[in-house]
Amino acid sequence: MRLSKFHLATVKEVPADAEIVSHRLMLRAGMIRKLAAGLYTWAPLGLRVLRKVEAIVREEMNRAGAVELLMPAVQPRELWEETERWERFGGQLLKIKDRKDAEYCFGPTHEEVITDFARAELHSYKQLPLNFFQIQTKFRDEIRPRFGVMRAREFLMKDAYSFHLSADCLEREYWNMYETYSRIFTRLGLKFRAVQADAGAIGGNVTHEFHVLADSGEDAIAFSDGSEYAANVEMAEAVAPLQERPVATAPLERVATPTQKTIDEITAFLAVSSQACVKTLLVRGCTGLVALCVRGDHEINEVKAAKLAELPGESVLADEAEIIKAIGCKPGFIGPAGLPESIPVIVDRSAAALADFVCGGNADGTHYRGANWDRDARITRVADLRKVVDGDPSPDGKGHIRLARGIEVGHVFQLGTKYAEALKATVIDQSGKNHVMTMGCYGIGVSRIVAAAIEQNFDASGIVWPEPMAPWRVALCVINPKNDAAVTAAAESLYAELGVRGVDVVLDDRGLRPGGMFADMELIGIPHRVVISERGIAAGTFEYRARRDSESRQLSRDEVLALF
């Protein structure tokens, strides 16, 4: 490609709403341009990167045995009624009408369409297993589209759906996809982790998300520094302390804490550490209030709490009036000692291992010192209730938990029979009976990967692409081409030779000043730069510099060619 014939449009200024570095750099490099909220044009430069990601994803999906197809973006309402998702999918579903007033949505995902396809196409167990995939534009009316293509409304997704006779067979394909995703992100040159995730509302059981690690990531993940263990922070198990609970030594003593309510105020006032305190929250249970207790230095994990049998599937704090009515004191003074019998006390594993602790006195302006489980306070049940913290032992027993931020770029999911049942997608099994198919689904955010890669790979001058994603691998920068025929001839000859060798090369023949040309190539992140100048040609050399290097080197033509 000759840059003089391309549309490269780098800019200096970006709008203030471009909050994160990838959004700013994609705009500055001229990779994307905004049309409206969450809607972007992929300019020629951006599209080159997007296509490279797409090609790697497609190649690895094919290699893994999945079969490509392409489904319509526009999907009829009736199909979404069959799975009851027309209403349930909520505000993200963009609904549209045709000229006859028939209703459609712009597909945010394709479980309905693929299952409709499968019920028509698949009749016999002999056709299974099958994994269909497509790379296609989705629309989700996100509440807060932001960060450019990272959370857009229209975006490119690779989605795959597999069909099986049995859960065992699904499980095999699931791990095949897990391995395939690991290969894809490794090939793209990204630092990533496969993370155990919450199956949430989609139903089904086993699911992993693939996260690119970056400080700007929206998700918090916990991983072990001594093993492959990684989980969403909401999911990560907080294991029980190794030491047994010490025996009670202190007497229970009520102390005045007139205005001290928070853990910080209490620890300062009573000169104790937060690890020696128990924090108690009252939430609304299925049949009345429920007390949740964690150690003073820990936080309740609401996702874990919501799963407790005593709670109605969500964790909602009781308000002040409810608490005063039930206990007779304000929220800051609640503790497990002496709570009414009707309130179950669910205690986190770490809090349950405490003895002689400080907790609320269940009367305004008081706390207890020297409180002890069993002797002074009831435990209805010990459970994993808290958020993991940096340094916790890893749940697999190997290493310690570290916390990091991640960007979700992929998701694999064992769906089970939910969609096949709703749409009656059956095949005839070995014994001639109708058998509902079992399904898996596997998504990759192709366009999000482009932004996520930049979050991980940039410096003060711009993007530093991993080679497999770069718009071009090599840039040939020609200094003053119009002034010197020998310079032009050398550049053209090197350009032609690299082209013959199949190297993805761009010739910067725009005739810009060196400073502007170099700044552009650094901003758009080309991994290798070769400068062809009058001085170099006179000395028989080219100036070479890798994007990650701090110094240039003088190389002969053969040495340059040997690099690629």
Q: Which two tokens stand for residue 52?
A: 């490279």
Identify which range of 66-74, 149-157, 234-242, 262-270 contacts ligand ATP by CB under 6 A: 149-157
Least spacing, CB of residue 218 vs ligand ATP, in Å: 7
Is residue 11 within 8 A of residue 30, CB to CB? The reply is yes
Residues sharing a CB contact under 8 Å with residue 372, sequence separation 6 or more, in sequence order = 248, 250, 252, 355, 356, 357
Residues sharing a CB contact under 8 Å with residue 122, sequence separation 6 or more, in sequence order = 128, 130, 163, 425, 427, 437
Least spacing, CB of residue 229 vs ligand ATP, in Å: 21
* CA distance linking residue 128 with residue 427, whole number of Å: 9
Choose, by CB under 6 A, the member of 152, 277, 469, 531 that binds ligand ATP.
152
Least spacing, CB of residue 149 vs ligand ATP, in Å: 6
Is residue 80 within 8 A of residue 108, CB to CB? The reply is no
By the rule CB under 6 A, 411 interacts with ligand ATP: yes
Residue number with CB closer to ligand ATP (86 or 185): 185
Residue number with CB closer to ligand ATP (415 or 423): 415
Residue type, 548: R
By the rule CB under 6 A, 443 interacts with ligand ATP: yes
Least spacing, CB of residue 440 vs ligand ATP, in Å: 13
By the rule CB under 6 A, 285 interacts with ligand ATP: no
Residue number with CB closer to ligand ATP (197 or 359): 197
Tell the residue number behind the tokens 């800051």, with chain if given. 332
Give the footprint of ligand ATP on residues 50-109 (CB under 6 A).
109
Give the footprint of ligand ATP on residues 195-234 (CB under 6 A).
none
Q: Which residue is nearest to ligand ATP (CB)?
A: 445
Least spacing, CB of residue 73 vs ligand ATP, in Å: 15
374-403 burial, b at 16+ Cβ within 10 Å, e below that, comes to: eebbbeeebbbbbbbeeebbbbeeeeebbb
Is residue 158 within 8 A of residue 135, CB to CB? The reply is yes
Helix axes 21-28, 446-456, angle to 10 degrees: 100
Choose, by CB under 6 A, the member of 236, 346, 409, 423 that binds ligand ATP.
409
Residue number with CB closer to ligand ATP (20 or 157): 157
**DSSP 8-state code for residue 141:** -
Tell the residue number behind the tokens 């970056």, with chain if given. 214
By the rule CB under 6 A, 472 interacts with ligand ATP: no
By the rule CB under 6 A, 410 interacts with ligand ATP: yes
By the rule CB under 6 A, 119 interacts with ligand ATP: no
Residue number with CB closer to ligand ATP (106 or 333): 106
Choose, by CB under 6 A, the member of 140, 295, 304, 528 that binds ligand ATP.
140
Identify which range of 120-128, 150-158, 430-438, 482-490 contacts ligand ATP by CB under 6 A: 150-158
Least spacing, CB of residue 109 vs ligand ATP, in Å: 6
How many Cα neighbours within 13 Å face the side chain of 550?
1
Choose, by CB under 6 A, the member of 119, 386, 448, 528 that binds ligand ATP.
448
Nearest to 327 by CA among 342, 314, 311: 342
Choose, by CB under 6 A, the member of 445, 462, 525, 536 that binds ligand ATP.
445
Report H helices in 414-527.
418-422, 446-456, 485-500, 514-523
Least spacing, CB of residue 57 vs ligand ATP, in Å: 12
Nearest to 138 by CA among 193, 198, 89: 89
Identify which range of 5-13, 97-105, 402-410, 427-435 contacts ligand ATP by CB under 6 A: 402-410
CA dihedral 451, 453, 456, 457 (to 10 degrees): -110
* CA distance linking residue 208 with residue 214, whole number of Å: 18
* CA distance linking residue 536 with residue 393, whole number of Å: 59
The helix/strand/coil state of 201 is helix
Is residue 328 within 8 A of residue 304, CB to CB? The reply is no
Identify which range of 284-292, 442-450, 538-546, 553-561 contacts ligand ATP by CB under 6 A: 442-450
**Please, what's the largest Cα pairwise distance for the chain?**
95
* CA distance linking residue 354 with residue 362, whole number of Å: 19
Choose, by CB under 6 A, the member of 8, 93, 157, 230 that binds ligand ATP.
157
Residue type, 492: E
DSSP string, 58-118: HHHHHHTT-EE----SEEEHHHHHHTTHHHHTGGGSEEEE-TT--EEEE-S--HHHHHHHH
Residue number with CB closer to ligand ATP (302 or 408): 408
DSSP string, 488-506: HHHHHHHHHHHHHTT--EE
Residue number with CB closer to ligand ATP (298 or 448): 448
Residue number with CB closer to ligand ATP (109 or 176): 109
Work out whether strand 289-295 and strand 462-463 pair parallel, antiparallel, or are unpaired.
unpaired
* CA distance linking residue 362 with residue 95, whole number of Å: 52
Choose, by CB under 6 A, the member of 142, 356, 492, 534 that binds ligand ATP.
142
By the rule CB under 6 A, 155 interacts with ligand ATP: yes
Identify which range of 292-300, 344-352, 444-452, 482-490 contacts ligand ATP by CB under 6 A: 444-452
By the rule CB under 6 A, 292 interacts with ligand ATP: no
Least spacing, CB of residue 159 vs ligand ATP, in Å: 7
* CA distance linking residue 26 with residue 45, whole number of Å: 10
Least spacing, CB of residue 200 vs ligand ATP, in Å: 8
Work out whether strand 345-348 and strand 381-383 pair parallel, antiparallel, or are unpaired.
parallel
Least spacing, CB of residue 443 vs ligand ATP, in Å: 3
Least spacing, CB of residue 157 vs ligand ATP, in Å: 5
The helix/strand/coil state of 564 is coil
By the rule CB under 6 A, 151 interacts with ligand ATP: yes
Number of shown-chain residues binding ligand ATP (CB under 6 A): 15
By the rule CB under 6 A, 110 interacts with ligand ATP: no
By the rule CB under 6 A, 360 interacts with ligand ATP: no
Binding site for ligand ATP (CB under 6 A): 109, 140, 142, 151-152, 155, 157, 408-411, 443, 445, 447-448
